Amino acid sequence: MKPIKNLAQYYVDLLVKLGIIKFSILLALALVALAVVIQVGITIVLNSSVSNVDIIRSVFFGLLVTPWAVYFLTVVVDQLEESRQRLTKLVAKLSDMRDRDRELNDQLHQKVEELNKQITEREKSEAARLEVMDDLKREVFEREKTQIELAERTALLRSFIDASPDLTYYRNAQGVFSGCNKAMEELTGRKEKELVGLTPWDVYSKEVAQQIVETDDKVFSNNQALTYEQWLEYPDGRKAYFELRKVPFYDKTGQHLGLVGFGRDITERKEHEDTLEKASRDKTTFISTISHELKTPLNGIVGLSRMMLESKLDKQQRHYMQTINVSAITLGNIFNDIIDMDKFDRNKLELLPKPLQFKEFVAEMESIAGLMGEQKGLRFDLERLTDLPDVIEVDATRLRQVLWNLISNAMKFTKEGGVVMSVSADVSGHLAYIQFEVEDTGIGIPDAEVDKIFAMYYQVKSGKDNLHAMGTGIGLSVSRELVNMMGGDIQVSSELGFGSTFTVSIAVPVSNETSLEVIDEQVDALNVFMVEDIELNVTVARSLLEGLGHQVTVAMTGEEALSKFEEGSFDLVLLDIQLPDMSGFDVAQQLRKRHAHLPPLVALTANVLKDKKEYFDNGMDEALSKPLSAKALKKVLAKVDSGEVGTLLSQPSLDEEASHDHFATVVDIEMLSSYIEIVGKAQVLEGVSVFEKLMPDYASILQTNLIAKDKDAIVSEAHKIKGAAGSVGLKRIQSVAQKAQSPELPAWWENIDEWVDEIRNSYQSDVEILKQWIEQA
Ligand code: ADP
């Protein structure tokens, strides 16, 4: 078939090459030639000769057939050509497809190769992982083995650490907790399991965490242990001051792993340090202030008495004057102690009203203030605006203290001009409304400060002069308190740069003078036994007593007193409380033990006398304060003479009155009465016992917050205490807590220590008083 195909192709190619005309001519020639050859051949075979006719016939035949053959061949050729072209296209397409196919094949091949590679790698890593796993398992196994061996020792160590009251904890190099002991669990309020994985930021307040992280960083960067102190807070709000020690730790290769921390609660130590510091500060301020404030009046007394000693005096007058002179000097030395005591007893201020020669009192103020003004180069005038009552019932010492404070302030804050004190009185019935006005031409007080100067420890801060450094900020506060207790008030008006006016108004009973007359009554000569160890006091008392016509026998120690005393020989015993060998109370007890019949025993004390109960409880019949005043001594002698001394305790009215006052200052009687009426005693007592349970925690949290100087926390704890105290009727605690929770009060920081102390020190005794009151209600 192939030769035929090739032949056909040959024809087609020839036809295409020559064109239809040339090809037709050639075909015609070929056909003619073929017809001639065939005709000639057949004729020769049949006839053995060839005629022309045969040849012509063959030519005609050839020529006749040619067009048909040409047509037929052309059609065939066209068809063939078309097929060929289609075939060529198909072949091209096929070849394209084959190329694409090859490309895809290549890609596939590559992918397969990659896949194989990955599989190999995975197999390799899987094998490695298995190997690591095996190692790990082996290690874990080994570790477990070691752990079991060490378990006993670790447990022992752990129990040591847990038993420690000190904090112990570990943090890794990233500052994340990795372990702690029980004390630390308590501090953070989290179990060890909960703490592990947390950072200080998650556990402490922002400020605390900040300090912890900073010190951690220091330990890490310096690679050195560090000790410092810091406040930390328990979950219940209680703060404690810790001494923290942080020590870095490393692994065998020296790689830094983290730190171990230890913390010791040193709150108590801190508290004592603060108290000591404050006490020494207070002491220094007071001593310097008091010595300054005392100089003026004391110098007056010393100077004047010296002057009088140079004038003409009789023997006795000279002796008295010498005593005054020496006493004034001694007074300067002992005053520091008295002032300290006054400060600590301030919360228990009490008035002892007695008849007072008012006109004499005013004259005395006038002469001392005049003297003081003279020394400062200031004018002092006293104006009596109205008639003054002769005798009023008032605590003269306290009234003197108030006026003296106003006058000395006026002179302290005045450089030029002077001070005027005016006194007026309006007597209506049994009451005298008395007004004192102390006006100065001094520096004045800024408007914004006028209301604040009565706050404890408050002083107007002025940069120009240093006048305030001489004061303490106590005087006005105490003065206002005293005047309020007298049923009055102190007001101030002031103009900055022009001066101030302080006005004291009190309403006091006008006395019927009988009690004063008693003093001048003549008493019989008595035999007085005096036990006193200080020579000066003996001189003063002896002069006084002998001057009044009495006889004095002196013993200077307790022993001497006990041996010298003879029953029936004396009408009165004056007994100093502080003797070199024993206390006056001991002497009194011994005397009472040894003798059936004793004369009245009167205590002599250098302390400020506010409450005589302590003296009565210790076997005394009366008490007098030193230095002895003629009036007080005369009064006692008069009482002894009339047999009054020794009966004081049996006067029930005094007791009842005192006990009512005692309750009224501590408990809210009105509120409690209606409370008991509504819910009954049992319910109220139950409330009190809840209060008793809560208070120790409240008080200790308050205290730690005070030491930590955390104002907000102090305020919030004081607020709780105020609410709790108020709900059970503890009036005093409630009012102190009210002040403690009000930081807007002037000089709040200066006073808060005392308020907190007062709450802590008084709440238990106040609860006892409250219970007593409820019982007897
Ligand atoms: P101290 O005088 O010891 O500082 P006080 O309680 O007596 O304490 O007085 C409180 C403050 O009131 C004084 O520090 C002073 O700033 C102001 N003050 C009191 N009296 C006067 C006055 N007469 N003139 C100007 N300021 C006064």
pLDDT band of residue 515 (cuts 50, 70, 90) is: very low
Q: What pLDDT, on a 0 to 100 scale, did the predictor assign at position 471? A: 66
Distance between Cα 492 and ligand 1 center (Å): 11
| Statement: residue 324 has pLDDT above 60 | yes
Which pLDDT value is given to residue 628? 65
Query: Which residue of 412, 413, 454 sits with most ligand 1 atoms within 8 Å of its CB, as the best mutation to test the pocket?
Result: 413
For the chain, the average pLDDT equals 83
Residue 534 is classified by DSSP as -
Residue to mutate (ligand 1; options 343, 376, 404, 409; most atoms within 8 A of CB): 409
Convert the pLDDT of each residue in 204-242 to its tens digit. 999 999 999 999 999 888 888 999 999 999 999 999 999
Q: Residue 37 belongs to what H/E stretch?
A: helix 2-47
Ligand 1: centre distance to CA 409 (Å):
6
Q: Which residues are paired to 384 by β-bridges? A: 423
Asked if residue 629 has pLDDT above 90, the reply is: no
Highest mean pLDDT (candidates 607-616, 639-648, 743-752) = 743-752
Residues within a 6 A CB radius of ligand 1: 405, 409-410, 413, 440, 442-445, 453, 458-460, 468, 471-477, 500
- pLDDT category at 610 given cuts 50, 70, 90 is low
pLDDT: which is higher, 440 or 133: 440
Sign of CA dihedral 198, 200, 201, 202: positive
Token digits for 473?
């900020």
SS (H, E, C) 632-672: HHHHHHHHHHHCCCCCHHHCHHHHHHHHHHHHHHHECHHHH
Is the pLDDT assigned to residue 626 strictly greater than 90?
no
* Residue from 293, 464, 476, 479 whose mutation best tests the ligand 1 pocket (most atoms within 8 A of CB): 476
User: Quick count: other Cβ atoms within 10 Å of Cβ 705?
Assistant: 24
Strands 601-605 and 572-576: parallel
Long-range interactions of 568-571: CB distance < 8 A, separation 24+: 568/597, 569/527, 569/529, 570/527, 570/528, 570/529, 570/599, 571/526, 571/527, 571/528, 571/599, 571/640
Q: How far is 149 from 471, CA to CA, in rounded Å?
A: 73
Cα–Cα distance, 247 to 257 (Å, whole number)? 11
Q: C-alpha angle with apex 188: 184 to 190, nearest 5 degrees? A: 95
DSSP state of 599: P
The DSSP symbol for 624 reads E
Question: Please, which pLDDT band fits residue 671 given cuts at 50, 70 and 90?
Answer: confident
Q: Which of 343, 333, 321, 341 is nearest to 294 (CA)?
A: 333
Ligand 1 centre from 281 Cα, in Å?
Answer: 21
Please report the pLDDT score of residue 233 as a whole number: 93
CA-474 nearest atom, ligand 1: 6
| Encoded tokens for 283 | 């002491």
Under DSSP, the state recorded for 649 is: G
Give the pLDDT of residue 644: 64
Ligand 1 atom nearest residue 453's Cα: 12
Residue pair 669/773 in contact (Cβ under 8 Å)? The answer is yes
Identify the weakest region by mean pLDDT among 27-36, 85-94, 499-508, 707-716.
Answer: 27-36
Report the pLDDT averaged over residues 53-81: 80
In this model, does residue 619 exceed pLDDT 60?
Answer: yes
Q: Which tokens sit at 47?
A: 């006839």
Residue with tokens 């020669």: 357
Contact, 628 vs 647, CB < 8 A?
no
Kindly report the protein residue whose alpha carbon is nearest to atom 3 of ligand 1.
Answer: 471
User: Among the atoms of ligand 1, which is closest to the Cα of residue 476?
Assistant: 6
Q: Select from 282, 288, 453, 500 the residue to mutate for testing ligand 1; criterion: most ligand atoms less than 8 Å from CB.
A: 453
Q: Can you tell me which atom of ligand 1 is nearest the CA of 458?
A: 10
Q: Measuring from atom 21 of ligand 1, which residue has the nearest CA?
A: 409
Residue nearest to atom 8 of ligand 1 (CA): 473
Query: 103-107, 109-113, 433-437, 521-525: which has the minimum mean pLDDT?
Result: 521-525
Which range has the top average pLDDT, 25-29, 280-284, 675-679? Answer: 25-29
298 CA from centroid of ligand 1 (Å): 21
Measured CA to CA, the distance from residue 305 to residue 766 in angstroms comes to: 49
- Determine how β-strand 527-531 pairs with β-strand 572-576: parallel
**Nearest CA-CA partner of 523 in 634, 362, 681, 633:** 634
Percent of the chain clearing pLDDT 90 (strictly above): 34
CB of 187 closer than 8 Å to CB of 234: yes
In residues, how long is the chain? 777
The DSSP call for residue 234 is: -
Among 70-84, 179-193, 342-356, 394-408, the range scoring the smallest mean pLDDT is 342-356
From the CB of residue 481, how many other CB atoms can be counted at a distance below 10 Å? 18
